[in-house]
Amino acid sequence: MNYRTLGQTGLKVSEIGFGAWAIGGTSEAAGTQWGWGETPEKDAISAIRRARELGVNFFDTADVYGNGRSEELLGKALSSEWDKVYVASKVGNVVRNGVGMKDWSREHIVRSCEASLKRLKKDVIDLYQLHNPEVRDIQKGDWPETLELLQKQGKIRWYGVSVFLPEEGMAVLERGKGQVIQLAYNALRLEMEEKVLPLARKKNVGIIARVPLYYGILAGKFKPDTTFPTDDHRSHTLPPETMRELVPSADRLRKIAGVASGDSAGFAQWSLKFILANPAVSTVIPGARNPQQAEKNASASDGRPLQKDQVETVQKLWRDDPYLRELRTGL
């Protein structure tokens, strides 16, 4: 496993981190499913511990993943190792009176932070992130003061913002608050390369790349007509019309990579290496629901970077594809 510095935090984090959304299991919010289906606790903990054995030291979660279950599982698996690894969590998503909404108030953030610490069995959260605020909240909210208060109280070490869209990432960078940005970035989603990633690198803001395998599409696991069960968020985040566009695009990438059809592990490794080819990226956080998936993810950090011509070919494919250039989804 290789390591990179997470921006201004100075933390040396594994190139391949651990995205702990999926292990949270089912999670319904305001009538919408945001989980991945059930993951047995034994499998989830085994995945976390196998990742650790392979050098992973950065784990990303959120209070809403499985309604707290993801944090609890990390606490069970890592409570004896918190002095050796880092955890990032998020705050801001709530359901009140059956309606999903955001809450960036000081009261909610402080209370949620304390609840996350208890679930994680930890004294301090290494990185605390706002969970996908809109531009206006990034620009005008008093969240920096709240998060800096938590720093002074010793409840968090560093803070950042998770974003959906490039304009949100730019708003974070322009406000100049926070040390890290988490964003969607993969071989089918390059919009962040245009402005956000270059400016983040210039300002030494750490970048966490999420959705690196596009929910399995960039591991070549699906066909254009693949559908998902109702307890899996992909039943609505990857509707049939999206699958019909993205799966053939992913197959074109597989051919660029020179990976044989059916070699899911090889394609996934290539997809993770593509992200790591961008020097602005500090860590990539694919999910893992069992030890085998954790092993496949970790194998991408082998010190053998992707060839420059492959990266440039992927970038040209994205620029030349109107559908990919305009694709903006809440990931």
Q: How far apart are CA 67 and CA 278, in angstroms?
A: 33
Structure tokens at 194: 């245009």
Domain that holds residue 39: 3-216+265-308
Query: Among the residues of the chain, which ranges form H helices?
Result: 41-53, 69-78, 106-120, 135-140, 143-152, 166-175, 196-203, 234-237, 240-257, 264-276, 291-298, 308-319, 322-326
Here the contacts of 304-313 (C-beta below 8 Å, separation 24 or greater) are: 304/273, 305/273, 305/276, 305/277, 306/270, 306/273, 306/274, 306/276, 306/277, 308/277, 310/256, 310/257, 310/274, 311/274, 311/277, 313/256
Tell me how many degrees the CA angle 127-83-209 measures, rounded to the nearest 5.
35
Task: Quote the DSSP letter at residue 238.
Answer: S
Q: In the structure encoding, which two tokens stand for residue 97, read together?
A: 């009176």
Please report, as a single letter, which amino acid is at residue 194.
Answer: E
pLDDT score of 330: 64
Collapsed DSSP state (helix, strand, coil) of residue 107: helix
Domain membership flag for residue 88: yes
Report pLDDT for 99: 80
Closest CA to 91 of 128, 53, 42: 128
Q: Are 209 and 186 in contact, with CB atoms under 8 Å apart?
A: yes
Q: What is the CA radius of gyration of the chain?
A: 19
* Number of domain units in the chain: 1
Q: Please report, for residues 38, 165, 253, 310, 325, the alpha-carbon distance to residue 317 in angstroms, rounded to integers and kept in the order given.
A: 36, 21, 9, 11, 10
Give the Å distances, CA to CA, from 165 to 38, 183, 214, 278.
Answer: 29, 8, 16, 18
Tell me whether residue 257 is in a domain.
no
The verdict on residue 255 lying in a domain is no
Instruction: Tell me if 40 sits within 8 A of 212, measured CB to CB.
Output: no
Count other Cβ atoms within 10 Å, centred on residue 244.
12
Per-residue pLDDT of the chain (331 residues; tens, 9 = 90+): 999 999 999 999 999 999 999 999 877 776 777 778 788 999 999 999 999 999 999 999 999 999 999 999 999 999 999 999 999 999 999 988 878 889 999 999 999 999 999 999 999 999 999 999 999 999 999 999 999 999 999 999 999 999 999 999 999 999 999 999 999 999 999 999 999 999 999 999 999 999 999 999 999 999 999 999 988 899 989 999 999 999 999 999 999 999 999 999 999 999 999 999 999 999 999 999 999 999 999 999 999 999 999 999 999 999 999 999 998 776 6
Does 234 reside within a domain? no
Which residue in this structure is represented by tokens 């998770």?
162
Residue 222, pLDDT score: 96
Q: What is the CATH number of the domain that holds 73?
A: 3.20.20.100
The residue assigned the tokens 């290494």 is 126
Cβ–Cβ < 8 Å for 298, 54: yes
Q: Label the pairing between strands 3-5 and 12-14.
A: antiparallel
Which residues, other chains included, contact 294 with Cβ-Cβ below 8 Å and sequence gap of 6+? Answer: 18, 47, 48, 50, 51, 54, 56, 288
DSSP codes joined into one string, 148-171? HHHHHTTSEEEEEEE-SSHHHHHH
**Which residues share a beta bridge with 189?**
186
Is 314 inside any structural domain? no
CA–CA distances in Å: residue 290 to residues 49, 82, 89, 272: 10, 21, 21, 18
